[in-house]
């Protein structure tokens, strides 16, 4: 699923440009006065062409064992209650041997620990900003009240702290947390602020899935970075308005990682934690694996796949069967977008657990009523670089774009309007809700999207319908999760009351 860019000839491009500049246009247009369009076009063309030459990721040599994030301990010993302290802080990390790279992290130098919740838990989190700049703590995929969601309105100044409380009402899933300050999200995530959240429930615990954390249940945060000559992350130098991509792959912050596994089924919880790069995960042998979960919950049945594409912030849990393999087998997870080797596996001589995946894992369904609901909200994604808009507008913290009643299910129709260059994929995220994908261009979504989602990829000229219900009240963001697009204003607000 390469970024689709139509290769129009210069003449047809100019024709379209002249026509579009002259035509009266009823549709929402980017905030742009027509006098500066020519200049903008040159700028966009140049930027877009640069971006088309997205650097390939370097292959992992497999010389370092993959780092596994620590699981954060709860400060409460009461049953059904969890208390955490999460501190955003500056740090230094030896990503390259013998060199310290300046990074950001939660409760550590780089990235964050895993926060574990059970469905039904009452959660209290003390968030602390130990950075030199404002930040927020956003719980991506969690169905929490707006004031606990950590959007741009919940900004903490350096040295400030805030306690948030909520109850976990949603099912087992792999979520994550990251900052969301207005216009500064991309740089803070790029420098290392990201961590995982695991929710478990009675169902997930009874399914007999691989669940030994760090052994056969492995978190994988995929990110791409550019390091300068001093092996530092220099965001302003690396920044691309259309999405910052790097040439160096890190998984859980580990350079050149390998993963040692026993001869058993291993569950990988994949998170595309990159600012803008899309990954198509595949095994180097072309062998299949099973997808068991989407962003927000288990699929009804394991779905056999040969590859899976995740756009920024999407997750998937997959299970790879290593039970018939041994040290001779050179299996690796690759990125089929550029053929790079992401994660070579080393199969030990240890036999692990011998278990089958369950046939039935969940009871996710889309009712006829939901299928027949009229479209209540239209979202038009448009543009590139710093010209990105939603419904022709850029983010304004003082403007509420939509309202929705708490508990009501509404259909949102998301359309990715192509631009003069063809356009690009936008990963569309809604805060505070897990939603159901009803259709893609009128067709039933693929089986592996028939589960709870909080982010979906929308291709140029594609229309995706989703059924959205908010369980809590508050003001929530909806936006493109290409983080530079988000920072450039490709974001709106829905007020749930
Ligand atoms: Cu976008």
The 10s digit of each residue's pLDDT in 467-479 is 999 999 999 999 9
What are the tokens at 249?
């792959």
Domain assignment present for 325: yes
Do residues 295 and 244 share a domain?
yes
478 C-alpha vs ligand 1 centroid, how far in Å?
A: 12
The per-residue DSSP string of 297-365 comes to SEEEEEEEESEEEE-TT-EEEEEEE-TT--TT---EEEETTTTEEEEEEEEEEEE----PPPS------
Query: How many domains is the chain partitioned into structurally?
Result: 3
Q: Could you tell me if 68 and 202 lie in one domain? A: yes
Q: What separation in Å is there between the alpha carbon of 186 and the centre of ligand 1?
A: 13
For residue 336, name the pLDDT band (cuts at 50, 70, 90): very high
Please give the pLDDT value at position 44.
40
Residue 5 CA, ligand 1 centroid: distance in Å? 14
User: Residue 426 Cα, ligand 1 centroid: separation in angstroms?
Assistant: 4
Same domain for 384 and 483: yes
Residue 379 CA to ligand 1 centre (angstroms)? 13
Q: How far is the CA of 485 from the centre of ligand 1 (A)?
A: 5
CA 491 to centroid of ligand 1, rounded, Å: 10
Residue 369, CA distances (Å) to 296, 358, 372, 467 in order: 22, 29, 5, 11
Ligand 1: centre distance to CA 196 (Å): 23
Same domain, 323 and 378: no
- Ligand 1 centroid–CA 338 distance in Å is 21
**Residue 422 in this model has a pLDDT that exceeds 70:** yes
Whether residues 272 and 140 share a domain: the answer is: no
Compute the distance from residue 289 Cα to the ligand 1 centre, in Å.
29
Model pLDDT for residues 133-159, shown as the tens digit of each residue: 999 999 999 999 999 999 999 999 999
Domain boundary, last residue among 174, 206, 238: 206
Find where tokens 């693929």 sit: 446
Q: Work out the average pLDDT over 63-72.
A: 97
Token reading at 183: 């216009």
Is there a domain that residue 358 lies in?
A: no
Task: Tell how far the Cα of 276 is from the centroid of ligand 1, in angstroms.
Answer: 8
Residues 187 and 81 in one domain: yes
Q: Are residues 24 and 85 in the same domain?
A: no
Distance (angstroms) between ligand 1 centre and the Cα of 47 equals: 15
Q: Give dist(CA 235, CA 274) in Å, integer.
A: 13
52 confidence band (pLDDT: 50, 70, 90): low
* Domain contains 222: yes
Cα 104-108-113 angle, rounded to 5 deg: 105
Residue 381 CA to ligand 1 center (angstroms) comes to 8
**Domain that residue 474 falls in:** 10-38+48-54+365-496
Residues 216-226: tens digit of each pLDDT: 999 999 999 99
* Whole-number Å distance between alpha carbons of 27 and 208: 52
**Same domain for 75 and 200?**
yes
Whether 68 and 199 map to the same domain: the answer is yes
In the reported structure, the alpha carbon of residue 441 is separated from the centroid of ligand 1 by a whole-number distance in angstroms of 19
Residue 45 predicted with pLDDT over 50: no
CA 375 to chain centroid, in Å, comes to: 26
In a domain, 402, yes or no: yes
Three-class SS of residue 439? strand
**Ligand 1: centre distance to CA 480 (Å):** 5
pLDDT digits (tens, 9 = 90+) for 424-449: 999 999 999 999 999 999 999 999 99
CA 331 – ligand 1 centroid, Å? 33
Is 155 part of a structural domain of the chain? yes
Distance 156 CA to ligand 1 centre (A): 26
Taking alpha carbons only, the member of 295, 275, 175, 283 closest to residue 223 is: 275
Q: How far is the CA of 482 from the centre of ligand 1 (A)?
A: 5
Span from the CA of 16 to the centroid of ligand 1 (angstroms)? 23
> Are 180 and 244 within one domain?
no
Sorting pLDDT into bands at 50, 70 and 90, what band is 48?
Answer: very low
**Sign of the dihedral defined by the CA atoms of residues 24, 26, 27, 32, in that order:** positive
For residue 479, the domain's CATH number is 2.60.40.420
| 123 Cα–ligand 1 center, Å | 32
Q: How far is the CA of 456 from the centre of ligand 1 (A)?
A: 11
Angle between helix 10-22 and helix 37-52 axes, rounded to 10 deg? 140
For residue 472, report the distance from its CA to the centre of ligand 1, in Å. Answer: 27
The answer on pLDDT for 289 being more than 60 is: yes
Domain membership of residue 14 (yes or no) is yes
User: 407-444 burial string, b = 16+ CB within 10 Å, else e?
Assistant: eebbbbbbbbbebbbbbbbbbbbbbbbbbbbbbbeeee
Is residue 359 in a domain?
no
Given 176, 206, 236, which residue is the final one in a domain? 206
Reduce the DSSP state of residue 466 to 3 states and report it: strand
- Tokens 């064992």 — which residue? 65
Ligand 1 centroid to Cα of residue 486, in Å, is 7
- Which of 466, 468, 459 has its CA nearest to residue 431? 468
pLDDT > 90: what percent of the chain? 87
pLDDT, tens digit, for every residue of 221-279? 999 999 999 999 999 999 999 999 999 999 999 999 999 999 999 999 999 999 999 99
Q: Roughly how many angstroms between the first and final C-alpha of the chain, as a whole number?
A: 38
Spacing, Cα 30 to ligand 1 middle (Å): 14
Query: To the nearest whole number, what is the mean pLDDT of the chain?
Result: 91
In angstroms, rounded to a whole number, what is the distance separating the alpha carbons of residues 38 and 336? 36
Q: What is the pLDDT of residues 340-379, one digit of tens each?
A: 999 999 999 999 988 899 999 999 999 999 999 999 999 9
Q: Is residue 269 part of a domain?
A: yes
Task: Give yes or no for a contact between 263 and 352, defined as CB atoms under 8 angstroms apart.
Answer: yes
Residue 333 and residue 431 in one domain: no
Residues with CB under 5 A from ligand 1 (ion): 426, 480, 482, 485
Phi, psi of 219 (to 5 degrees): -80, 140
Are 449 and 419 spatial neighbours (Cβ–Cβ below 8 Å)? no
99 in the same domain as 124? yes
Q: Among residues 326, 351, 376, which one ends one of the domains?
A: 351
Distance 200 CA to ligand 1 centre (A): 31
Q: How far is the CA of 479 from the centre of ligand 1 (A)?
A: 8
Distance 76 CA to ligand 1 centre (A): 40
Distance 181 CA to ligand 1 centre (A): 17
Expressed in angstroms and rounded, the spacing between residue 185 Cα and the centre of ligand 1 is 14
């Amino acid at each position: 699923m390469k970024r689709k860019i139509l290769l129009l000839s210069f003449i047809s491009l100019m024709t379209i440009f002249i026509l579009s500049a002259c035509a009266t246009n009823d549709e929402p247009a980017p905030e742009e006065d027509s006098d500066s369009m020519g200049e903008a076009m040159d700028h966009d063309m140049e930027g877009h062409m640069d971006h088309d030459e997205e650097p390939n990721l370097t292959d992992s040599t497999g010389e370092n064992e993959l780092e596994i994030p620590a699981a954060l301990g709860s400060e409460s010993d009461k049953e059904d209650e969890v208390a955490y302290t999460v501190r955003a802080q500056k740090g230094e990390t030896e990503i390259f041997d013998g060199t310290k790279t300046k990074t950001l992290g939660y409760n550590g130098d780089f990235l964050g620990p895993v926060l574990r919740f059970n469905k039904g838990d009452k959660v209290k989190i003390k968030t602390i900003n130990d950075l030199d700049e404002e930040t927020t703590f956003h719980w991506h995929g969690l169905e929490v009240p707006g004031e606990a969601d950590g959007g741009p309105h919940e900004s903490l100044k350096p040295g400030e702290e805030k306690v948030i409380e909520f109850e976990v009402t949603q099912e087992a899933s792999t979520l994550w947390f990251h900052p969301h300050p207005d216009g500064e999200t991309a740089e803070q995530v790029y420098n290392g602020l990201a961590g995982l959240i695991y929710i478990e429930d009675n169902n997930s615990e009874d399914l007999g899935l691989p669940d030994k954390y760090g052994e056969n249940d492995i978190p994988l945060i995929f990110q791409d970075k550019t390091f300068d000559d001093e092996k530092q992350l220099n965001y302003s130098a690396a920044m691309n308005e259309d999405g910052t991509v790097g040439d160096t792959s890190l998984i859980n912050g580990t350079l050149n990682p390998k993963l040692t596994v026993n001869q058993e089924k291993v569950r990988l919880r994949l998170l595309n934690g990159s600012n803008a790069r899309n990954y198509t995960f595949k095994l180097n042998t072309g062998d299949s694996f099973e997808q068991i979960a989407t962003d927000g919950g288990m699929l009804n049945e394991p779905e056999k796949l040969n590859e899976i594409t995740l756009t920024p912030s999407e997750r998937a849990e997959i299970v790879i069967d290593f039970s018939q393999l041994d040290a001779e087998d050179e299996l690796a997870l690759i990125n089929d977008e550029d053929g790079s080797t992401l994660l070579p596996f080393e199969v030990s001589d240890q036999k692990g657990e011998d278990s089958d995946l369950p046939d039935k894992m969940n009871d996710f369904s889309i009712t006829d009523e939901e299928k027949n609901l009229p479209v209540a909200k239209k979202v038009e994604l448009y543009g590139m670089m710093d010209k990105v808009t939603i419904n022709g507008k850029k983010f304004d913290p003082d403007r509420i774009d939509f309202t929705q009643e708490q508990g009501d299910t509404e259909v949102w129709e998301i359309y990715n309007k192509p631009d003069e260059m063809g356009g690009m994929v936008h990963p569309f995220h809604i805060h505070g809700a897990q939603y159901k994908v009803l259709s893609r261009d009128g067709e039933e979504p693929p089986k592996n999207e028939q589960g709870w989602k909080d982010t979906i990829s929308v291709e140029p000229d594609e229309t995706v319908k989703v059924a959205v219900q908010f369980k809590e009240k508050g003001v929530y963001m909806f936006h493109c999760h290409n983080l530079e697009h988000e920072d450039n204003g490709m974001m709106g607000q829905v007020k749930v009351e």
